[in-house]
Structure 1
Amino acid sequence: MSDHQQQYLHAMGIQSWELVHPERLQGYQPTLAPLDEGCRLLLVCASHPTAAEAILFERVLKSFHLPLSAARHVYPHQLSQLELAGLEWIWFAGCDVAADTSANRLISPALAEIDGHTQHRRDLWQQICSYGAQS
């Protein structure tokens, strides 16, 4: 942005701004942020897990032999900004599936809805087992 444009925004009282839909700009090429090297599972949900939800999350990770340190959380709107190549698992919890990736997908209600709900836990477990049968 030129100095003139910055001065114009400053004069209007705008200190910072964010382009909400950069993909709508002609010729836009996104720069994707890489995931941490140790990230094997990405949890995509609208809220950061609470302490109780984190315990459930860790139990689920243990069921397919992943430590908590190998998982990361992102909000759904952040997903399009990440490079997903090499990711093993992506878990959409209570949000729309909006990623084109070859990673194993888990789709469930929000973590708060799974804890204490036998059918939701069973459905999630069946998804995890279905990937084990494909290996």
Structure 2
Amino acid sequence: MLTDIQRLQAMGVSVWQLRHPELYGREQEVIQLPENCQLLLVCDDPLSEQDAWLFGNILKSMKLDADKARQLPHAALAALGDHHLVWSWYIGKPEVMIDGVRTLHSLPLAQMHDNPAAKRDLWRQICQYD
């Protein structure tokens, strides 16, 4: 079953204006990631300088540059638009997961600095996709 927007697109209508937008409720903003973004770190807290250093080193081990990664809080995932992600890395328990991408889970980066077991666990998850 086609939605109203799909019907308009099928008719070649790319611009429209609603006469009564209040009938549709408030539209949720869509988050668009850059096309080159391959890894999304899903983490509610901003990274400290030390956490960012560790994150950068982990990205290097995955052969990814920092410009190919972004961070979003868990609550923002519901608004994620089309993407070209290869990896999603969740800190904590996700309520929403991104389908069709390689998935990682770990402790917060702040807890991984002095925790070799947590680093090994993350590395095992990364290697399972090779």
**Range of TM-score over shorter length:** 0.7 to 0.9
In structure 1, what is the equivalent of residue 104 of structure 2?
A: 106
Aligned residue type for 1:115: H
Q: What TM-score, normalized to structure 2? A: 0.74
Q: Which runs of 4+ in 1 moved over 4 A?
A: 26-31
Q: How does 1:1-135 map to 2 (within 5 A)?
A: 32-83=30-81, 85-96=83-94, 98-132=96-130
Q: Please say which of residues 90-99 and 67-76 is displaced more in the overlay.
A: 90-99
Point out which structure has higher relative CO (alpha carbons under 8 A, 6+ apart): 2
CA separation of 1:74 and 1:104: change in aligned 2, threshold 3 A: same
Aligned residue type for 1:92: Y
CA distance in 1, matches of 2:26, 2:78: 14
Identity of aligned residues (%): 34
Whether contact under 8 Å (1:44, 1:95) holds in the other structure is no
1:28 Cα deviation after fit: 8.4
Tell me, what secondary structure is at the counterpart of 2:129?
Answer: helix
1:83 Cα deviation after fit: 2.0
Aligned residue type for 1:93: I
Tell me, what secondary structure is at the counterpart of 1:33?
Answer: coil
1:98 Cα deviation after fit: 1.8
Instruction: Give unmatched runs, 5+ long, in structure 1.
Output: 1-25
CA distance in 1, matches of 2:36, 2:91: 21
Alignment: residue pair count: 107
Q: What TM-score, normalized to structure 1? A: 0.71
1:36-82, Cα deviation, whole Å (9 max, x unpaired): 11111000011011100000000100111000111001111111111
Instruction: Give unmatched runs, 5+ long, in structure 2.
Output: 1-23
